Amino acid sequence: MKLDAIRCLRRKLAADTPAWGLWITLQDASITEMAVGLGFDWIVIDAEHGHLDWGDIVGHIRAAVRSETVVLVRIAELNGGLIKRALDIGADGVVVPWIETAEQLQLALEYAKYPLQGRRGIGAERATCWGHSLAEHTEQANDHVLVVPILESVEAAGRIEELSQVDGVEMYFLGPADYSSTAGFRGQWEGPGVAEQLLHIKDVVRRAGRHCGVIATSQQNALEREKQGFRMIGTGMDASLLVRALRSMLAGVGRDRPLQTSLDIRPTASDHSGDGQSATVDSTTIGTLNVRPFRVGMTADFYDATGQPRYTDTGLSILHSEPGIEVLNFPEHRAEISSDQLQGLNGVIVLTPRVTASSLSDSQDLLAVGRFGVGYDSVDVAACTAADVLLFITSGAVDHSVAEATIGWMLALNHHMRTKDRLVREGRWNDRSQYMGSELRGRTLGIIGFGGIGRAVLRMSQGFGMATPLVFDPYAGAAIIEQSGARAVSLDELLAGADFVSLHCPLNEQTKNLISARELSLMKPGAWLINTARGGIVDEDALYQALSSGRLAGAALDCFAVEPVVSPGPLMQLENVLLAPHSIAWTNELFRDIGRAVCQGMVDLFHGRRPRGMVNPEVLERPGFQKKWQRLRSPSEAITPLRTL
């Protein structure tokens, strides 16, 4: 760690002066020597997108020793071991990709700091001069090591206010290309509307007193970024700048040729094959890899009786724009997918049908089931694993919509919206004084299940002046819960202390009938229960008794033990219950985001990348899965190992 270089960078940024940098992906440390000699303020050594091993990274760090160029190492993912290793070999800081929540960012900071502020181990490594400067380094490191997150998703943009307030973070990089992909514009540096969204993120970061960085695409773009208020400006990637210079030189002598991703030579008007026929590229050739078509099935409930899409946007453009992927629609809807519907498919995107062992009994080609949503109680995970089929869900895509619906129901219950609507329709205006509502202000929210949705509910609730929320989740660390502004408690304590109890946990053997007669008896008299998770978590008969007796003020239910609900049940007779057909959170935006996520998962698998949201990732290592993968590729091609995103 070069303390003087870090201080120099901070002074420059504090003076609102641009700090110019270079993104390094090439192995030769002479690139860093050149950057130092040219006076760059910072460099990022990219340990993911280049082909650098740790020896190469050490070489780059050595090349910047005793200079005023800050050296940051861009690690492949949020990982404590990677952060520690990068800092231990002498980096001035780390760049951490794909940060979407304040909790993730706080965790990155903990990995980068020594106890008591963090969890970085102390040893005799380069950073401490092999133990000879142990006291000096550990005294300074916690205050000066830089942790720089990359914000590169729509999800991160939705949480930028809280991300920009995390203590200990001074600068943020934006990733336009990946952000565009999550916005549905894969392959574009800044898709439609993305530029404006990135500028909004930058403005929020600047208002918080922090600095924003981005890689420029040209000299003109670099100057434009400076005017826009970006202060950590990358002049480009080393390889890209080299290609740009070479092409400029070749263009001057009439020899310029655009690079292709396959790196093969594309035929021109003067190029012909030996038999006099023009050379062609088969439509199923992706780069230089010849593959069979990757067939993805869509369950029939995505379409109406005429075969037209039921929903405005389910992300299918991502699949349709991918050469080598074919999309096939199921001809008929079945409550349970049958094995014949999966014949010849490599992937299937499932909305509502069940996936059982019988469904997968003859899945010789099927590589993956993509669940359109985050719940997977309708999918037999063990059967998927046994059949060498990967199951993945759309983690994060539903958080905002479900959280928004939950808050909406809290307001509707607390203000008797359903009853007051009926008063007007029935001409009972003067009865309004009998239905006084109450505010959320000062009330306590209890959240059961602290995954993405539970955290989103907590964030949205914080603008209403509510009391400190209570959270029960045996799988979430108390530290993470408390860093989010809530209090980690037992289930019984939550039930006894919350005015609103909101369920956001999965349905499994541990959560079936989690809320039964005993639990309902522990709730505050006059409390409200909201279930947007899964039917079966709440004992509906016991809930009816608690509501009809007046012990609970009311409930809002989006899901039921048996679905679909086709005949009136006891709960439907109660006036203090709001009901929805497992669709309270359904919005055009929700289906767009889920669709983009699940379709991108299929594209990632097609290209040999691990989809996000894998439920049974161990399948990827099973011989049966690998054999299916090999059959999909060209017979002469070795099995391509799936790469981590």
Residue pLDDT, tens place only, 596-608? 999 999 998 988 8
Catalytic residue among 137, 455, 534, 596: 534
3-247, which class in CATH?
A: alpha beta
Judge if 289-396+588-632 and 399-579 fold alike in CATH terms: yes
More confident residue, 116 or 432: 432
Which one-letter amino acid corresponds to residue 390? L
| Packing angle of the helix pair 3-14, 134-144 (nearest 10 deg) | 20
pLDDT above 50 (res 641): no
- pLDDT for the residue numbered 324: 85
C-alpha 141/C-alpha 121 separation (Å) is 12
* 293, 287 Cβ separation under 8 angstroms: no
Look up 534 and say whether it is catalytic.
yes
| Cα dihedral 635, 639, 644, 645 in deg (nearest 10) | -10
- The stretch 158-186 carries a mean pLDDT of 91
DSSP 29: T
Range of lowest pLDDT (8-12, 50-54, 137-141, 606-610): 137-141
- pLDDT for the residue numbered 284: 33
- With cut-offs at 50, 70 and 90, classify the pLDDT of residue 143: confident
- The stretch 586-593 carries a mean pLDDT of 90
Sheet order of strands, 368-371 included: 325-329, 294-298, 347-350, 368-371, 390-392
- CA dist 642 → 155, 618, 620, 621, 630 (Å): 25, 12, 8, 9, 12
* 392, 385 Cβ separation under 8 angstroms: no
- pLDDT for the residue numbered 630: 84
- pLDDT for the residue numbered 635: 45
289-396+588-632, which class in CATH?
A: alpha beta
More confident residue, 43 or 246: 43
pLDDT above 70 (res 11): yes
pLDDT above 80 (res 85): yes
For residue range 24-66, what is the model confidence (pLDDT) as tens digits? 999 999 999 999 999 999 999 999 887 899 999 999 999 999 8
- The stretch 479-505 carries a mean pLDDT of 94
Reference 144, options 70, 47, 33; nearest CA is: 70
- The stretch 427-451 carries a mean pLDDT of 94
C-alpha 304/C-alpha 57 separation (Å) is 55
- pLDDT for the residue numbered 279: 31
More confident residue, 142 or 634: 142
| Cα dihedral 479, 481, 485, 491 in deg (nearest 10) | -120
More confident residue, 279 or 326: 326
Look up 10 and say whether it is catalytic.
no
- The residue extents of the domains of the chain are 3-247, 289-396+588-632, 399-579
Look up 333 and say whether it is catalytic.
no
Catalytic residue among 186, 504, 582, 592: 582
Reference 470, options 497, 492, 443; nearest CA is: 497
- The stretch 626-641 carries a mean pLDDT of 64
Tell how far CA 277 is from the center of its chain: 48
The CATH number of domain 399-579, selected from 3.20.20.70, 2.102.10.10, 3.40.50.300, 3.40.50.720: 3.40.50.720
Reference 576, options 559, 555, 549; nearest CA is: 555
- The stretch 532-540 carries a mean pLDDT of 95
Catalytic residue among 48, 563, 622, 633: 563
